[in-house]
Amino acid sequence: SKEIDKICEQNLLLLDLNDFKILLEE
């Protein structure tokens, strides 16, 4: 389950980065 937690954390980070990029573009 730790591996899954790591993947979930990475996905959340990617989502945060994408949102940040969108904010920068606007």
pLDDT in the model for residue 19: 87
Per-residue pLDDT tens over the stretch 1-26: 899 999 999 999 998 888 888 888 87
Phi and psi (nearest 5°) for 2?
-60, -40
pLDDT in the model for residue 2: 92
Closest CA to 7 of 23, 20, 15, 26: 15
pLDDT in the model for residue 3: 94
- Domains of the chain: total: 1
pLDDT in the model for residue 9: 93
Query: Cβ of 21: how many Cβ atoms within 10 Å?
Result: 10
Which domain range does residue 5 map to?
1-26
Tokens of 5: 């937690």
